[in-house]
């Protein structure tokens, strides 16, 4: 039987239900934070998180759904509620993954440093926090809000295709800011959210590009479908 406190915590997690208590027993742990717009989530995102977790021996990965992404101002996005729903569907069968509504529920522009401050305050020092990014996000990292503060709160795991090496100048710049960057290679899955949205808009299939549950969500909600268009099934 679950205690009342446990039931309350599970229904109102501070970060996410599965990993809220990590580190509370004083044991060292390593959490990955997979930040993204996830408009929609696809197998590229999932593989990126899985490869980072394996390579770095992470105990879990929190998918952090950006509410109003800083670098996507003025772009039309699916609602945060839809993007959260799809992330939950995409990740629910992996015990290493959970989804956080922390950023999606925060008002104003989403800055990763604000999230990192909340996470660092929530988890004890025995929990290492690594923000997982792809190669494109890594290039923009020096321009993120309060980058030196962010660097002091989390380290960075950059997942990219085999053979890819970030520009030496970029790595030197990140080091000067204070970022610790670990490089992880992952097989290239040439899938992007924009490609999924485009295919859905054109009534084409996205099966095997997104988890079946996400495909079914897109079909049942009509998300991204051109007005007057038909589902691809
Ligand atoms: P996204 O498009 O949903 O992508 C999320 C992550 O998945 C990215 O790091 C991306 O790598 C990676 N990814 C996408 N497709 C992939 C594939 N096929 N294989 C492997 N990896 C893949 O999210 P986003 O809009 O880039 O945002 C990323 C995070 O950066 C968010 O948490 C956002 O809040 C944060 N951010 C913060 C600031 C700030 O605080 N000022 C500014 C910008 C972004 P790529 O980088 O290679 O696309």
Quick: pLDDT tens for 136-156: 999 999 999 999 999 999 999
Whether the bond between 155 and the residue before it is cis, its omega within 30 degrees of 0, is no
Average pLDDT of span 39-60: 98
**Ligand 1 centroid to 133 CA: how many Å?**
6
Of all protein residues, the one whose alpha carbon is nearest to atom 5 of ligand 1 is 36
Which residue would you say has higher pLDDT here, 33 or 231? 33
User: Has residue 16 got a pLDDT over 70?
Assistant: yes
Helix axes of 43-56 and 80-91: crossing angle, nearest 10 degrees: 60
Average pLDDT of span 198-215: 98
User: Has residue 230 got a pLDDT over 50?
Assistant: no
Q: Taking a C-beta distance cutoff of 8 angstroms, is the pair 38, 139 a contact?
A: no
Average pLDDT of span 97-109: 96
Contact residues of ligand 1, CB 6 A cut-off? 35-38, 44-45, 48, 64, 66, 69-71, 110-113, 133-137, 140, 144-145, 159, 189, 191-193
Q: How crowded is residue 136: how many other Cβ atoms within 10 Å of its Cβ? A: 9
Of the pLDDT bands very low, low, confident and very high (cuts 50, 70, 90), residue 233 is very low
């Amino acid at each position: 039987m679950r205690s009342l406190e446990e039931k309350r915590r599970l229904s109102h997690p501070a970060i996410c239900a599965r990993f809220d208590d990590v580190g509370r027993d004083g044991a060292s742990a390593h959490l990955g934070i997979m930040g993204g717009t996830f408009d929609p989530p696809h197998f590229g995102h999932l593989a990126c998180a899985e490869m980072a977790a394996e390579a770095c021996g992470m105990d879990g990965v929190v998918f952090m759904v950006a509410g109003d992404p800083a670098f996507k101002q003025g772009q039309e996005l699916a609602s945060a509620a839809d993007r959260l729903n799809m992330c939950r569907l995409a990740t629910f069968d992996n015990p290493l993954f959970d989804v956080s509504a922390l950023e999606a529920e925060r008002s104003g522009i989403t800055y990763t440093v604000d999230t990192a401050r909340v996470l660092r305050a929530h988890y004890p020092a025995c929990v290492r926090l690594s923000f997982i990014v792809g190669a494109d996000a890594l290039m923009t990292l020096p321009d993120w809000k309060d980058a030196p503060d962010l660097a002091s709160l989390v380290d960075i795991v950059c997942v990219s295709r085999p053979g890819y090496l970030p520009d030496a100048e970029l790595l030197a710049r990140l080091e000067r800011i204070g970022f610790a960057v670990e490089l992880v290679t992952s097989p290239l899955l040439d899938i992007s959210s924009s490609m999924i949205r485009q295919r859905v808009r054109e009534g084409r299939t996205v099966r095997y590009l997104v988890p079946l549950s996400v495909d079914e969500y897109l079909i049942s909600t009509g998300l991204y479908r051109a007005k007057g268009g038909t589902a691809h099934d």
